[in-house]
């Protein structure tokens, strides 16, 4: 099994909605950042990719036919070379809206408040799962620094980096293999790009701010995230 669809959009651009949509359309289980926290042993592959080392991508994505969100989106150029038949989907969002969402979700998770940090620290010595997930947290924190810089409150600089990522995708992925996708458009452009029928269910607009924070809380407690589908 190899990846058929790769998402290049950054977190908070509708990547979790895209994950659910792809799974409902029959493209198998989709790898998303939430999957990495469920399987923290896989972080070693992404650390190798960040170092520019050779990565056993098929081993990493064993059991998955698609991958969206970070960390996969950061390595889209390597994945483009490795999976020559894959299609790419770049999720879009208004930069100002994206920044406000990121500021109160993924950026907040990077710098947890004292209460959450204390709760995490108390669980750390007694939970193997929490200790393994800590490696993912540190890796993710480093990537956020590399992508946006350490000053996440510098809105102009962060948005500039956000736009630069989209520019790099457009520069390196051929138009015939790339869909620029806004989740607000729903099923039609996605299904047309993937040559599948439009399903008779609502498009999964999911992972709003509160849902995201709830997932972060579950991850920090060492619990498994519940499965979610459209059925």
The CATH number of the domain where 50 resides is what? 3.40.50.300
The reply to whether the predicted model has a pTM over 0.75 is: yes
Q: Which two tokens stand for residue 26?
A: 């029959």
Residue 64 lies in a domain: yes
In the prediction, which pLDDT does 51 show? 94
Give the count of domains, the chain.
1
In the prediction, which pLDDT does 115 show? 54
CA-CA-CA-CA torsion sign (171, 192, 190, 25): negative
Residue 189 lies in a domain: yes
CB contact set of 91 (below 8 Å; sequence gap of 6+): 7, 8, 9, 13, 14, 15, 18, 68, 181, 182, 183
Q: Is 85 helix (H, G, I), strand (E, B) or coil?
A: coil
Residue 227 lies in a domain: no
Identify the domain containing residue 144 by its residue range. 5-220
Residue 15 lies in a domain: yes
Residues 200, 150: Cα–Cα separation, whole Å? 44
Residue 163 lies in a domain: yes
Residue 182 lies in a domain: yes
In the prediction, which pLDDT does 116 show? 57
Residue 143 lies in a domain: yes
Residue 44 lies in a domain: yes
Mean pLDDT by 10 residues, the chain (231 residues): 93 95 95 93 96 96 97 97 97 96 85 55 64 85 92 96 98 98 96 97 80 66 66 50
In the prediction, which pLDDT does 29 show? 94
């Amino acid at each position: 099994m190899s990846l058929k669809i790769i998402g290049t959009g950054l977190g908070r651009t509708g990547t979790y909605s895209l994950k659910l949509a792809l799974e409902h359309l029959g493209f198998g289980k989709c790898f998303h950042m939430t999957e990495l926290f469920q399987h923290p042993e896989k972080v070693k592959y992404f650390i190798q990719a960040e170092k520019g080392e050779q990565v056993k991508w098929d081993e990493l994505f064993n059991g998955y036919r698609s991958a969206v969100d970070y960390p996969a989106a950061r390595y889209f150029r390597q994945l483009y070379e490795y999976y020559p038949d894959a299609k790419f989907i770049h999720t879009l969002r208004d930069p100002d809206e994206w920044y406000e969402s990121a500021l109160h979700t993924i950026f907040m998770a990077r710098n947890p408040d004292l209460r959450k940090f204390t709760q995490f620290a108390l669980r750390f010595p007694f939970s193997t799962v929490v200790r393994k997930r800590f490696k993912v947290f540190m890796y993710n924190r480093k990537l956020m620094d590399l992508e946006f810089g350490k000053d996440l409150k510098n809105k102009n600089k962060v948005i500039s980096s956000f736009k630069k990522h989209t520019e790099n995708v457009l520069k390196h992925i051929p138009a015939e293999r790339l869909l620029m996708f806004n989740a607000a458009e729903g099923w039609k452009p996605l299904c047309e790009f993937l040559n599948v029928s439009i399903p008779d269910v609502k498009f999964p607009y999911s992972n709003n701010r509160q849902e995201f924070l709830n997932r972060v809380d579950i991850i920090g407690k060492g619990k498994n995230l519940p499965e979610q589908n459209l059925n």
